[in-house]
Chains A and B, each alone.
Chain A
Amino acid sequence: GESVGLHLPTLSVQEGDNSIINCAYSNSASDYFIWYKQESGKGPQFIIDIRSNMDKRQGQRVTVLLNKTVKHLSLQIAATQPGDSAVYFCAEIVGAGSYQLTFGKGTKLSVIP
C-alpha cells in the first residue's frame, strides 16, 4: 500500500506569502525523506531532503520539517513566487542502500499573482 501520502491535493497561495505543503508517512523505518517539484510537462526535480535523525533542514527559500512522533513531513516555501507553481511530491527511501524512492501522490501548488 501507499506509505507516503498527502493531506491536500491542491493549494493556492498569494504571491509573496509563505506556502506549506504537508505529507504523512507510515513507515517508521524510512531513512530519508525527499521533496520533488514537477512542473508541467517536465520530470520531477529534487528540492531538498532530510535524514530521519533530523528535525529540520533549510535550503534556499525552502525548509523541510520532520515530526517523527506523528509521522509528518512538511515543506515550507518562503515568499512564494509564480515560478513555484508546480506539483510537489514527497518521497521516502527505506534503507541507506535502497534503490527505491516511494512517492506520494502530489500536491498542486498554484501561486496567485
Chain B
Amino acid sequence: DAGITQSPRHKVTETGTPVTLRCHQTENHRYMYWYRQDPGHGLRLIHYSYGVKDTDKGEVSDGYSVSRSKTEDFLLTLESATSSQTSVYFCAISERTGNTEAFFGQGTRLTVV
C-alpha cells in the first residue's frame, strides 16, 4: 500500500465548529487531492495541490480550505462545519498530472451533528 495516512479516521463534530483533517504521505509525490464520497454521488474533488503552497479548487470546494506547507502534508479545513459536510473524506496522491494511478488513503468519516 502507498504510504498515505489520514487522521483522524473518525470524527463527530458540532455544526458551526472548525474541523481540520490531515493527510500525510511518505511517497514524496508532488500531487495531492481531497475527495468526498457520498451515497449516490461517487467521489467528488474538493481541492488539490500541485506543490508546496500551490493549491486550487475542485468541483465542490465551497466551505472548504486547504493548506500545504510541506510536501508530505495536505490539510483540509472546514471553516464552519455544516450537516451537509457529513461525509467520508479521502486523500489521494499521484506522481504527475494526468496520472490515472492515484493512490488513496483509508478515508476519514466525518459526522456533523
Contact = CB atoms under 8 A, between A and B. Distances in A.
B11 to A, nearest CB: 16
Contact of B42 (A34, A42, A46, A106): A106
Nearest to B42: A103
B43 A103 contact: yes
A5 to B, nearest CB: 9
Nearest to B33: A99
A16 interface: no
Interface stretch (B13-21, B67-75, B79-87, B93-101): B93-101
A97 B98 contact: yes
Output the residue of A43, A44, A89, A105 with the most chain B CB within 10 A: A43
Contacts of B45: 99-102
Interface string A70-113: 00000000000000000001010101111111111110000000
Contact of A43 (B50, B59, B107): B107
Interface residues of B, number: 26
A100 B43 CA distance: 11
A6 B46 CA distance: 22
Sort A-B residue pairs by CB-CB distance and give the 5 closest, nearest first: A43-B104, A103-B42, A49-B100, A96-B98, A103-B43
12 contacts: A31-B98, A32-B98, A32-B100, A43-B90, A43-B106, A46-B103, A89-B42, A96-B97, A98-B97, A99-B33, A100-B45, A103-B43
Interface of A: 31-32, 34, 41-46, 49, 89, 91, 93, 95-106
